[in-house]
């Protein structure tokens, strides 16, 4: 593997662990090369994960596994698969980029806004008891303050503030989380 093709310094994070205060432990740093998917014929995203996978190359490491995270600057990726590369000295990784919009998350009892990535997945899917529209917002968990998704928390994105009603059942996959909210 040619060193010149590995141009990006990345940080690798393990899969989520911990019950009371979840964390994504740092596995280490590495040099990597990224090949983003082509934009021709790309489908419209329906969630916080990119529609197409990004191809990532790095030197062989035994501690890289499916479900881990890669951080490259401000960009985050979820590892989908890890295979040996053309030579046994490299890894060929398929990963999905997190494509959320810049947002601010504020817990009900706090005065500090925390920057997070958010993606408005559905609008007006349910109507609440007072005929207010409900919204479903997908959030990137490693950036969220814990505990997350509590009633009364607020998410501000694209100039609109949403008040969280609760977590969408079954949406917590260890990396992302969907919440229901109202304006």
Compute φ and ψ for 3, nearest 5 degrees. -60, -30
Under the phi-then-psi rule, with left for phi > 0, alpha for psi from -120 to 50, and beta for the rest, what region is 80? alpha
SS3 80: strand
Answer whether 116's CB lies under 8 Å from 143's CB.
Answer: yes
Q: Which residues of 136-175 are buried (b: 16+ CB within 10 A; e: fewer)?
A: bbbbbbbbbeeebbeeebbbebeeeebbbbebbeebbeeb
Q: What angle do CA 159, 164, 166 make, to 5 degrees?
A: 155
Nearest 10 degrees: Cα torsion 141, 145, 150, 153: -110
In the block, which residue shows the tokens 């109507």?
127
Answer whether 118's CB lies under 8 Å from 109's CB.
Answer: no
Compute φ and ψ for 143, nearest 5 degrees. -95, -10
pLDDT for 141:
92
| Residue ranges of the chain with per-residue pLDDT less than 70 | 1-3, 39-44, 123-132
pLDDT for 137:
92
Answer whether 115's CB lies under 8 Å from 143's CB.
Answer: yes
């Amino acid at each position: 593997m040619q060193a010149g093709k590995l141009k990006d310094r990345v940080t690798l994070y393990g899969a989520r662990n911990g019950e009371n205060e979840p964390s994504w432990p740092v596995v280490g740093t590495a040099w990597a090369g990224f090949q983003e998917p082509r934009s021709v014929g790309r489908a419209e995203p329906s969630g916080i994960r990119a529609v197409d996978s990004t191809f990532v190359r790095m030197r062989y490491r035994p501690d890289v596994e499916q479900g881990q995270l890669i951080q490259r600057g401000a960009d985050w990726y979820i590892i989908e698969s890890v295979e040996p590369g053309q030579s046994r000295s490299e890894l060929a990784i398929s990963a999905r980029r997190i494509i959320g919009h810049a947002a601010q998350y504020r817990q009900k009892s706090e005065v500090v806004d925390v920057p997070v990535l958010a993606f408005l997945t559905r609008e007006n899917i349910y109507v609440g008891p007072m005929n207010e529209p409900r919204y479903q917002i997908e959030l990137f968990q490693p950036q969220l303050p814990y505990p997350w998704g509590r009633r009364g928390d607020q998410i501000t994105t694209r100039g609109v503030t949403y008040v969280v009603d609760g977590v969408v059942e079954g949406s917590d996959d260890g990396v992302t989380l969907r919440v229901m909210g109202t304006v």
